Structure 1
């Protein structure tokens, strides 16, 4: 069969392929420039699919590519004996997308790992979410905890104190008023304390951010020089390493993730991709420094990197190229 025919079939194999198949694909791709060019053509055809219902494109490609595929043998030895109908099937469709699958946000998929008396002492993770999951929990004191994707908390509620340790990720807190028991959230060696308020805390490898929506919180910074400060509604405290500063916050953006969105305000594409990739197992990547520097603004749904990539391609001269591991690279569009 031709290189185009093989590329079309590989397109299907990699949808649900094994690591062995991915390795075989890489070997096939490296065999000749014709293979690489054919793979580019298949991706270019896929790039034009923008508006059709989710499974239509996949089904057309599958029907064409599988027309003469033997069903009794593994797919990889047979990659050299299929039909030109595979590529023809791709070009028959002029719009559509390949779905990345649903994102669960319900409590059924959330891991609650406490095995001791619930929520009485620190030491182990009590609640965590996987990639693409979000959950809301009401705590015994009446406070509400919203936990973002790939996040974990350790909770201790006693008659004298209320303490949550943000192990990783992001959480939004709606704190029930109780002047006898301050509500504190620790992120690394810093602590945010409130009586009755609404605020967001995020912790990642670079530091932590707290955004105050309502009420008053006190932030105690750790490190070599411990200090304290108070935030007013609409302010945020951002700490990176030993350096921290208070600034005006985008409150709406800090709450958007609870509704399944993220908001960007003139940030580099590379930074936007890092945030979008938090919500899905398959990632968008960018290697070209010029493309990575493109600025992004707007409100985008989480858990759908393909939709985000298509939106970016409507703004800038870029396109998406599918990788063997399921990721997609944002590259410059052809002249």
Structure 2
């Protein structure tokens, strides 16, 4: 958003609160007296006009109030539903327009697809704009691509995204959201995994701008780097794990990872529980293991590391144990 967005971030909370207050007052009382008072406030300071412009754009983004807002559009008859929309917009004024809270306005987007994969399934999609989306096992994604935006919402699981140059001009932002934050692609190939309350992002090409869900705090992650984040905090940025995207070709590639972690990753591809005894949980494991055949991968681990495979009734669980265990 350039210099304009930077200017918006310098608006004082007091001015933004005044704009939010006028938003509600004009909704409740659109009389000529109120409009005249609003006009005097609007014209008294350039920051007032900028704050009101921000309110107008937020209202337009919501899709529930016509873009040609100004003060006239606020003179429509009051209603509980309309007041609720305006109250939400007023709250958003105190956050950066490019922050995560603005993303909440997209919840009313026309989600035109809901790709899902079952446990053990992977899927490759070519989106309407030419971008390629690969879904890992047990993954749920929502998609909304229209004339203004390219939006994806990752509910759970893992995706590998390769963005295409937007055929439309001006180009539409490509945004992938998870419950932890919003990721805007900057000409990019990247991997995202969301589980529990955190999201792991690995950027393979280009860069991705991340905004946290709770605070709107932002960070740009460049190619070769990865970061894990929750809704309110970033962890330390690290180098991308080698072959982190190998799952797209059906392989799990690890280098000196603890056995328990390796089994957790393999376990995502089957319904039965997969684990190990605490005594060998930190055993370092390296190698490449087929994801479409977890039983074969377990057998490989047992052979290489001289472990015993113990299976429960009807294959409900599998545990690796030291070979000497009884």
- CA distance in 1 between counterparts of 2:275 and 2:227 reads 29
Residue 274 of structure 1 pairs with residue 259 of structure 2: no
- CA distance in 2 between counterparts of 1:206 and 1:159 reads 32
1:226 aligned residue: 216
Q: Report the alpha carbon displacement of residue 260 of structure 1 after superposing the two structures with TM.
A: 0.2
Give 2:323's match in structure 1, choosing from 318, 327, 333: 333
Q: Which moved more, 1:168-177 or 1:319-328?
A: 319-328
3-state DSSP of counterpart to 1:254: coil
8 Å CA contact 1:284, 1:309 repeated in 2 = no
Q: Which moved more, 1:313-322 or 1:138-147?
A: 313-322
- CA distance in 1 between counterparts of 2:217 and 2:124 reads 32
Give 1:213's match in structure 2, choosing from 204, 207, 232: 204
Residues 259-278 of structure 1 deviation map (CA, whole Å, 9 limit, x = unaligned):
00112222221111110011
Q: Report the alpha carbon displacement of residue 284 of structure 1 after superposing the two structures with TM.
A: 2.5
Summarize the alignment of residues 125-204 of structure 1 with structure 2, pairs less than 5 Å apart. Answer: 126-178=114-166, 180-204=171-195
Residues 24-55 of structure 1 deviation map (CA, whole Å, 9 limit, x = unaligned):
xxxxxxxxxxxxxxxxxxxxxxxxxxxxxxxx
- CA distance in 1 between counterparts of 2:190 and 2:173 reads 14
2:249 aligned residue: 259
3-state DSSP of counterpart to 2:296: helix
3-state DSSP of counterpart to 2:245: helix
- CA distance in 1 between counterparts of 2:129 and 2:113 reads 19
Please report the TM-score for the alignment, with normalisation by the length of structure 2. 0.61
Q: Report the alpha carbon displacement of residue 206 of structure 1 after superposing the two structures with TM.
A: 4.5
Q: Report the alpha carbon displacement of residue 146 of structure 1 after superposing the two structures with TM.
A: 0.6
- Greater relative CO (CA pairs within 8 A, separation 6+): 1
- CA distance in 1 between counterparts of 2:240 and 2:263 reads 21
Residues 280-332 of structure 1 deviation map (CA, whole Å, 9 limit, x = unaligned):
2234222x211222121221111322222222222334211221030222122
Larger helix percent: 2
3-state DSSP of counterpart to 2:314: coil
Residues 100-156 of structure 1 deviation map (CA, whole Å, 9 limit, x = unaligned):
xxxxxxxxxxxxxxxxxxxx613x861000011111111111111111111010001
Residue 323 of structure 1 pairs with residue 312 of structure 2: yes
8 Å CA contact 2:161, 2:190 repeated in 1 = yes
2:278 aligned residue: 289
| Number of aligned residues | 212
- CA distance in 1 between counterparts of 2:180 and 2:254 reads 28
Please report the TM-score for the alignment, with normalisation by the length of structure 1. 0.59
Give 1:309's match in structure 2, choosing from 289, 298, 307: 298
Tell me how large the CA RMSD over aligned residues is: 1.9
3-state DSSP of counterpart to 2:303: helix
3-state DSSP of counterpart to 1:325: helix
8 Å CA contact 1:176, 1:195 repeated in 2 = no
Residues 189-213 of structure 1 deviation map (CA, whole Å, 9 limit, x = unaligned):
4011014321111101141111111
3-state DSSP of counterpart to 2:269: coil
**CA 1:176/1:220 → structure 2, altered by over 3 Å: closer, same or farther?**
same
Gaps of 5+ in 1: 1-119
Residues 47-94 of structure 1 deviation map (CA, whole Å, 9 limit, x = unaligned):
xxxxxxxxxxxxxxxxxxxxxxxxxxxxxxxxxxxxxxxxxxxxxxxx
**CA 1:155/1:329 → structure 2, altered by over 3 Å: closer, same or farther?**
same
8 Å CA contact 1:284, 1:305 repeated in 2 = no
1:39 aligned residue: none
**CA 1:240/1:290 → structure 2, altered by over 3 Å: closer, same or farther?**
farther
